Amino acid sequence: MSTKEWPLWEVFIRAKQGLNHKHVGSLHAADLQMAIENARDVYTRRMEGVSIWVVESKHVHASEPSEQEALFEPANDKIYRHPTFYDLPEELNHM
């Protein structure tokens, strides 16, 4: 009697106007509409959001953890991308 399970969806919530949508968790729903409503009922019961995105989990493509070093470590020594790299006179405020 095993029936097909409803697909899994990833839920993203915008907590208030001006903020990014942030991943909050996942849930199951038969279709898109239901996924948004389920997200509303499951993840915004305590006024956590003003906007919802749902993405079917199978459509999320992720980077490989094994490539973590190759992907992200080369950024470590590019300190010149950060403002603190540059020496400026003290009297120069607000730059």
Partner 1 sequence: MEIKLEALFQDKIDQEIKIEPRDWMPEKYRKTLLRQISQHAHSEIVGMLPEGNWITRAPNLRRKVALLAKVQDEAGHGLYLYSAAETLGMSRDEMFEELHSGKAKYSSIFNYPTLTWADMGAIGWLVDGAAIMNQVPLCRTSYGPYARAMVRVCKEESFHQRQGYEIMLTLSKGTEAQKALAQDALNRWWWPSIMMFGPNDDNSPNSAQSMKWKIKRFSNDELRQKFVDVTVAQTEILGLSIPDKDLKWNEERGHYDFGVIDWEEFFQVVAGNGPCNKQRLKARVDAWENGAWVREAATAYAEKRELRTKNQTEAA
Partner 2 sequence: MAVNKDILIDYILHLADNSMILGQRNAEWCGHGPVLEQDIALTNITLDLIGEARSLYQYAAELTGGNSTEDTVAFLRDVMQYRNTLLLEQHNTDWAYTITRQFFYDVFHYYLQEALVNSADERIKEIAKKTIKESAYHLKWSSEWMIRLGDGTEISHLKMQNAVNDLWEYTGEFFIPSETEIEMTEIGIAPDLTLLSKKWKSKVEDILTEATLSIPSSDFQQKGGKKGLHSEHLGFILAEMQYLQRAYPGSEW
Q: Specify the residue, 69 or 91, whose C-beta has the smaller distance to partner 1.
A: 69
Question: Considering the rule CB under 8 A, would residue 55 count as an interface residue with partner 1?
Answer: no
Write the interaction track for partner 2 spanning residues 15-54; mark x where CB under 8 A is met and - where it is not.
Answer: ------------xxxx--xx--xx--xx--x---------
- The identity of residue 87, as a single letter, is D
Q: Decide whether 34 or 55 has the Cβ nearer to partner 1.
A: 34
CB 27 within 8 A of CB 40: no
Q: Which residues bind partner 1 (CB under 8 A)?
A: 1-6, 8, 24-28, 30-31, 34, 42, 45-46, 62, 64-66
Q: Which residues bind partner 2 (CB under 8 A)?
A: 6, 27-30, 33-34, 37-38, 41-42, 45
